[in-house]
Structure 1
Amino acid sequence: MDKRPHILQTTELCVTATSRALVRDVSLTIAEHQVFGLIGPSGAGKSTLLRALNRLTDLVPGLKVTGDVQLHGQSIFKSGMDANALRARVGMLFQQPVVFPASIVDNVLFGARRLQSLSKSAQTELAESALQEAALWSEVKDRLKTPAAKLSVGQQQRLCLARTLATKPEVILMDEPTSALDPRSTEAIEALIKRLKSRHTIVLVTHNLRQARNVADHLAFIGVRDGVGQLLCSGSVDSVLGRTDVAEVDEYVCCQ
């Protein structure tokens, strides 16, 4: 049993779109400084669940979230909770790199500049620190003012990670962060995930069982029953992937 302090907890979390349930009654506990993997078939609601953890679901018209998500025991839905401040603490890395039409350094500092007033020296120091942590500094340190769009796709994904890291998040949500990358870039991101968990908690959506086995400390399987995404089991990587008594898990693993 994991004895590390809990950082995130969901209780009977449900997400609906108009009258249709996407995810129902998901209760999870996520410990600090681990890679918590979410696996399951396409359409089960894993990405929707991930977005509910930092209220990105608020930005999608028609979505309604019930139940609760707690960060360090405090509800993220409580009155007075600043959603932007929450998303700085619980950052997000998407499936496709999202770079802005600006320089590399302006991309890194985009979120941090909006959250706080930073001197020029503080900006310089923060950009270098974030790029170092994202293992990109050595590749871009001599061209920080060049357009981010000139980077390779793998570099762009690490740039997006650096932008997230610049806000000093406690948790990083990753939605299939390597699905658009070549094998070499995928290896680089996976190596980063393993290093980052010493300072951050990672919640990772992946369809890649090799990746789940390689980087995850804990897994939750989100499957579809009665047309709705539901938590069917969770536990250690081996225990979840070995659940032959859960038909949906057994079929999913056999088909990979």
Structure 2
Amino acid sequence: MRTLAIGDIHGGLRGLTQLLERAKVNKDDKLIFLGDYVDGWSESAQVIQYLIELSEKNECVFIKGNHDIWCEKWLQHGTAPPVWLYHGGKGTIESYKDFSKGDKQKHLEFFQTMPMYYIDNQNRLYVHAGFTSMHGVKEEKFEQSFCTDRTLWEMVQTMDKRIKKDADNYPNRLKHYSEIYIGHTPTLRSHSYEPMNKANVWNVDTGAAFTGMLSAIDIDTKEIFQSDTLPKLYPDEDGRNG
């Protein structure tokens, strides 16, 4: 059995299905999705429907991202703040035009069951963005950090590679977990189209919301699988603003 960590999808159903096909995913594989399933390309609602059906075939973990929180609130209360509309929410609302009230309720319940983070039996942490507590995620006082924090990734990018985990100046945040898998901050910002590793953190968001690809990584072998770039799969669309 493999365990694959999968980066931010952002409404790119074509990228998701292509990625799973290229990775030759079968029913024995465990899939851990790192959040942000919606907002970007035109098939956000269709992505959620696909993931619900996928979870009936495979063992899946769906971490909640910041865009998922916006969509969840819209499905529950009908509220659409301007910041969400600007960052892909308008397209997500449009993608739901042919979904029934019952369908939307099932999607809402799907969002509501998503955890903010997941720790596996080998003490590997999976979280959408990051966390700020030096004592680990269970002591995090600001739950929003799980969806929005970029300081974890910024910190490891500046670390000297020679610093070992048992060193006094190794960041306490990192000592709690054997590995940490995140999304949220596209690796395109570091001019990389592939998942990146710094210290014990793996960033699997390879910019599928923009000009990048959707990526998955086998957490044991570190084999990487990728879709085509999303603009290639959606040639008539612009993806997410901002």
Verify same fold: TM over 0.5.
no
Structure with more of its chain in strand, by fraction: 1
**TM-score, normalisation: structure 2:** 0.35
**TM-score, normalisation: structure 1:** 0.33
- Look at both structures and tell me which one has the larger radius of gyration over its CA atoms: 1
